Amino acid sequence: MESLGQQVNSSSLGPINKADEALIKAFVPILDGLILVTGLVGQTLVIIVLTGRRRKKNQPPHGTDTLLLGLSAADLLLLLCLPFHTSAITLGFWPFGSFLCKAISFLGVACSAASVFTLAALAVTRYLTVVHPTWAYRSRLHRHIKLIVALLWVPAAALAAPQFAFRTVTASSAVYCFAFLSDFSQLVYSIALFLFGFALPLGIIVLMYAKIYCFLRHARLLGIAPQLERYHSQVTHTSALLVLVFTLLWLPSYALMFSLIGGTVIGSSYKTIAILARLLASSVAAVNPVLYGFMSQKFRQDLLELGRKLWAWCKSCPIGCPDVMGRDTVQPFELDTTSESGQN
């Protein structure tokens, strides 16, 4: 995953057409800037809306809201890595030193792994809430969600630990934050990363949503599904779409990673495709808030309410601010009134 973002700066990838290189250096900062701004605004709105629910209701947030907050936190941290990659691609070398080479690589892998783990936990939580609501209530599942969100970062950090331990900068004609293991070790690590950080969690997610679908289908045949679908189907569809988009946007990076190890993609073609795959993976953090807005009716309502409050606040700002109102909006009326009273 993150190794792709680092390796696209290496001269060992072979020559690249100067026109293509100029095009990449011109468009990558623009696209990365768009992803960064969109992601920061979207994730900030998600955090404001979800935390606002807790303040409004004066109670702990729902388990799903807590998981979505954890997902937003991982996405925000992932966005913090983006300017470093943008600078390295634009400059053609890694200018930030050995420590940041290790730290940014570690953070990128840990955040992407934490994201998919959170999505898996979201699917399991939704399954328990829909299919086994009595058990979920008796076990007070919602009270343990915060601990679960924190614990998800343990395996994520473990998967990312080799990035911090072994990644190094290399110097030839320039300095690069480059590959950190031998070919065989890189293959083993890539397989472990793919299995434990992507395939296994997604397998759990698919299984959970398949069980929810079968349960709702069976309930529909018994005539008791409408009430369940009213409260749960929308959230389930939103979560499923989040997983689908995450998979489609991250899968090219994994495919390219194994293609690089196998030697089937080399030279300038790899560098161009790797940048495109990195852009797709980075856009996950900008796409997720859009999915919340379009798929969740409750989120749209909360967002509209937030917008009304901000609009009311903006409209009330000029009241009591004479410099903003200006004399032309007040004094003519007072002068006319005075002149009329004098004539009377």
Domain residue ranges in the chain: 2-295
SS3 assignment for the chain: CHHHHHHCCCHHHCCCCHHHHHHHHHHHHHHHHHHHHHHHHHHHHHHHHHHHHHHHHCCCCCHHHHHHHHHHHHHHHHHHHHHHHHHHHHHCCCCCHHHHHHHHHHHHHHHHHHHHHHHHHHHHHHHHHHHCHHHHHHCCHHHHHHHHHHHCHHHHHHHHHHHHHHCEEEECCCEEEECCCCHHHHHHHHHHHHHHHHHHHHHHHHHHHHHHHHHHHHHHHHCCHHHHHHHHHHHHHHHHHHHHHHHHHHHHHHHHHHHHHHCCCCHHHHHHHHHHHHHHHHCHHHHHHHHHHHHCHHHHHHHHHHHHHHHHHHHHCCCCCHHHHCHHHCHHHHHHHHHHHHHC
Instruction: Specify the pLDDT at position 104.
Output: 93
For residue 248, the number of C-alpha atoms closer than 13 Å in the C-beta half-sphere is 8
Q: Thinking of the domain 2-295, which architecture would CATH place it in?
A: Up-down Bundle (1.20)
Q: Which range among 4-13, 230-239, 291-300 shows the weakest confidence by mean pLDDT?
A: 4-13
Who's near 288: CB < 8 A, 6+ residues apart?
A: 42, 43, 46, 71, 72, 75, 242, 245
Q: pLDDT band at 37, cuts 50/70/90?
A: very high
Instruction: Specify the pLDDT at position 272.
Output: 75
Does the structure show a pLDDT above 60 at 39? yes
Question: 261: which 2 tokens?
Answer: 């190890």
Summarised one tens digit per residue, pLDDT across range 250-309 is: 888 888 887 777 666 555 566 777 888 888 888 888 888 887 666 777 788 888 888 888
Summarised one tens digit per residue, pLDDT across range 92-109 is: 888 888 899 999 999 999
Summarised one tens digit per residue, pLDDT across range 136-186 is: 666 667 778 888 999 999 999 999 999 888 888 877 656 677 666 677 788
Instruction: Specify the pLDDT at position 73.
Output: 92
pLDDT above 70: percentage of residues in the chain? 71
Instruction: Specify the pLDDT at position 166.
Output: 84
What's the CA gap between 315 and 8, in Å, rounded?
49
**pTM attached to this predicted model:** 0.79
321 within 8 A of 104, measured Cβ to Cβ: no
Does the structure show a pLDDT above 50 at 244? yes
